[in-house]
Structures are given as C-alpha cells and as structure tokens.
Amino acid sequence: MLEFANALVFMLLGAMLFFPSVVAPVVFTSLPEAQAGAFLRSMFPRYYAFMIALSLIAALLFLVVSDESAYQAAIVCLLVGVSTLWVRQWLMPRINTARDAQLAGDTEAGRRFDRDHKLSVGINLLQLVLLVGIQFV
C-alpha cells in the first residue's frame, strides 16, 4: 500500500514538473499566442483534475498505513488535493476572466491577471516542495 501511495506521489511530481517545464514552453514556441493560450486554457482543468485525483488517492492510501510518517504524508497529499481543487474551481476562472479583459485592453485586469497567475505558480511551487518533502526528508 505504501509503495503504491509513494508511486502516485512520484507520478504527481513528474506531472507537476513536466507540464510547466516542457508542455507550456513548447506550446508557446510552437503556436501563435492566441492558439497557445486557448490550448493551455483547455489543458489546465485536466492537469488540475489529474493532480486532484492522484493526491487524494495517495492521501487515502497513506491513511491506510498505520505509521506516523504516513499520516503526515496523507495530510500533505490532502492539502495538495484541496488546494488544487480551490485553484481549479476558484482561482483559474479568475485568471481566465482577467486575461480576457487584459486582452480587450483593460490594464487593471492585466495587473489582476499577473497577481493571480503568480499566486497559482506560488501555490504550485509550495505543493512541489511539500511533496518532495514527504518523499525525501
């Protein structure tokens, strides 16, 4: 059980590293800006759903193991899943709305987009650090 939970966390870490470091840059260098944005906008809900599913399944599996470190790992995975759900359902729509308004010429919306996008990146980085922490510390 523990090995499978750890494997899910490694899969999650791999996806979290692969998407922003490989997929997004290739999309923006291969497609015109409008098409790249539309493509990534359609990918992010799937990316977040994948993260939510893997982290919550891993949390449940860690809970099955009667071990203090497994409980800590379960809490981290649960936090990752819940925070990703919040990003997907609340923050991502705000980012998309602000981006649309920015492209329509609203400079204040551009500031909101930058702030909210940085927040989503910061949350993702914190999630990465927490997940690495339960695997290597």
Q: How many domains does the chain have?
A: 1
CB 128 within 8 A of CB 16: yes
pLDDT digits (tens, 9 = 90+) for 17-54: 999 999 999 999 999 988 999 999 999 999 999 999 99
Spatial separation of the C-alpha atoms in residues 63 and 119, rounded to whole Å: 29
Copy the structure tokens of residue 19: 């998407």
Mean pLDDT of 75-81: 98
DSSP for residue 104: T
| Residue 66 lies in domain | 2-136
Q: How confident is the model at residue 113 (pLDDT cuts 50, 70, 90)?
A: very high
pLDDT at 73: 96
**What pLDDT shows up at residue 67?**
84
